[in-house]
Amino acid sequence: MTKDVIALTPTMPDVRTLLAGLYAGGPDLRVRTAADGAVVQLCTPDGNTLVSIEAPILIHTPGEPSRLLGTKTIAPDTPVWWTEARATTAVPEAAQLAGSFAGRLATVLNGITWPPEAATTDVIPLTSDTTTTPANTTPHPAIDVLTDTTAVVLQDRPVIPMTSWLSDALRTAITSDRALHIVTPNTARLTLPTRNALGGHPHRWVVQDPHDGYYDGLSGAVLRWQNGTFAPTRTAPGATPVAPAFTNTTDTGERQLILALRTRHPADEQLILGRALETTWRHLTGTPPAGWSTAEPVNLPWSTRQLTDLARRRAPQPTSLIAIGHPDRPALATIRIARTPAGVEEDITLALGYTEHEPPPLEAIPSLAEALTTANHGLTSMLTSLRHAPRDLTIPPHITPPPTPIALTLGPDTVHDIGPHHAQHPPLNLTPTQLGPASRPALHYALGDATDDQTWTTLKRLTQHLRMGT
């Protein structure tokens, strides 16, 4: 497995401290930069990359190191500097070099390393014969194996976040018409941004299991390495077996409340994005989001102005963002902002976690729907659902039941496009609540409380009826 080692320090690593860390391999190793200077690489004299070090990140978001590195990680209080080193698997000493680099930073700056057992300050001599080791010809330092069809990334951390490394590796794979396969042990979990970024075939989460070999962590399909990629194993009739480990689950009673919102705004200079998400967050948790970023770890304090400025600079290209809540209430959102012929659109998915003894605030959904549709947030639709899933919002390599719909809300523009009379009279025992002025109403359809499996059928019939009106 590739080794990722992280130094968490209360002060920024300066040039002298970074140089002290880079001398972990002695004076014979070379140092070079990549990714326009954002990555420093420690290399053998003949050019093979041993360790790639990302530029330090200042994290303002409370609890973020513990969320991504495990709740037992005792990190310095935020703000904290996160410096990540990634070792290649091609040379045995590379992992020790990464540990010595991070250990030296933590020692000089009074910080800690993750994993703690990787830390050292020793000089690591290079004893392997690197002249027989193929140079790293992969197009990105996060990619460990590259074939004609697949880019493979090996990860051995407890939580697999959508870091800037991994995001770049995914873009590299897509632009070269390859699949990205992330290989992890069966103890690893994905964050919601990583799960969403994989997006299904051809990208995969490949789980190593001592009993089942390899299987897909999202579908359960048993996999094997064949023709330069991980592909499903086929039985004689052509079916794909499902790994027993994927179906071996226990219901803990934990649940996630999921809200899928879409907004649309006129493209003008006064536009401020993120307000619908902030209103939703405050309504359901009592506080705004704690932070936002383009990747994990989430490092910036929440600011609708700053995220709007970023989206405006990137336009007309779309912008994907992540928002995170405070540690006492697990909450995480993914946001995609796009410029379309209709204006500026936000596609938001917000998930909030609850234990068995923490009832999700379902009673707050109707008033939230009213707040979003009557306060000029540009809401076009909101689907609220509830699912049995971990409170910490991670995705384990096990089967999880689909969410159960709770409510559907349509904004006034959507209702107008469908036709108010048609939208208010579905062929069901279902009467929507009218929100806003009667001349241009929004509508809120209460579908249930997640105790009735028939709500999916109700939602399907409702959406079929609404499409007939457009």
Q: What is the pLDDT of residues 61-85, one digit of tens each?
A: 989 999 999 866 666 677 999 999 9
pLDDT of 24 strictly over 90: no
Angle among Cα 384, 386, 388 to the nearest 5 degrees reads: 160
pLDDT for 40 equals 85
Q: Dump pLDDT digits (tens) for 340-361.
A: 999 999 999 999 999 999 999 9
110: left (phi over 0), alpha (psi -120 to 50) or beta: left
What is the mean pLDDT of the segment spanning 412-425?
94
Regarding predicted confidence, which is higher, 33 or 467? 467
Low-confidence winner among 2-6, 109-113, 295-299, 431-435 (lowest mean pLDDT): 2-6
pTM exceeding 0.85 = yes
The whole-number pLDDT of residue 119 equals 85
**Span 364-375, pLDDT tens digits:** 999 999 999 988
Helix axes 275-285, 365-374, angle to 10 degrees: 150
Q: Average model confidence (pLDDT) for the chain?
A: 90
The alpha helices in 132-230, defined as continuous H runs, are 164-175, 192-198
Best-predicted range by mean pLDDT (165-169, 288-292, 438-442)? 288-292
Q: How does residue 38 score in pLDDT terms, banded at 50, 70 and 90?
A: confident
The mean per-residue pLDDT over the stretch 395-408 comes to 94
Q: Do 340 and 265 form a contact (C-beta atoms < 8 A)? A: no
pLDDT at 295: 94
HSE toward the beta carbon, residue 145, CA cutoff 13 A: 18
Identify the residue with better confidence: 39 or 323. 323
Q: What percent of the chain has pLDDT over 70?
A: 95
Q: What phi and psi values does residue 296 have, to the nearest 5 degrees?
A: -100, 145
Instruction: Choose between 100 and 44: higher pLDDT.
Output: 100
User: pLDDT grade, residue 1 (50/70/90)?
Assistant: very low
3-class SS at 33?
strand
pLDDT band at 228 (very low <50, low <70, confident <90, very high): very high
134 vs 430: which has the higher pLDDT: 430
Higher local confidence (pLDDT), 25 or 307: 307
- Amino acid present at 100: S
Q: Provide the pLDDT for residue 129.
A: 56
Query: Quick one: pLDDT band at residue 127, thresholds 50, 70, 90?
Result: confident
Query: What is the mean predicted confidence (pLDDT) over 37-55?
Result: 83
Q: How confident is the model at residue 135 (pLDDT cuts 50, 70, 90)?
A: very low
Mean pLDDT confidence for 279-295 = 96
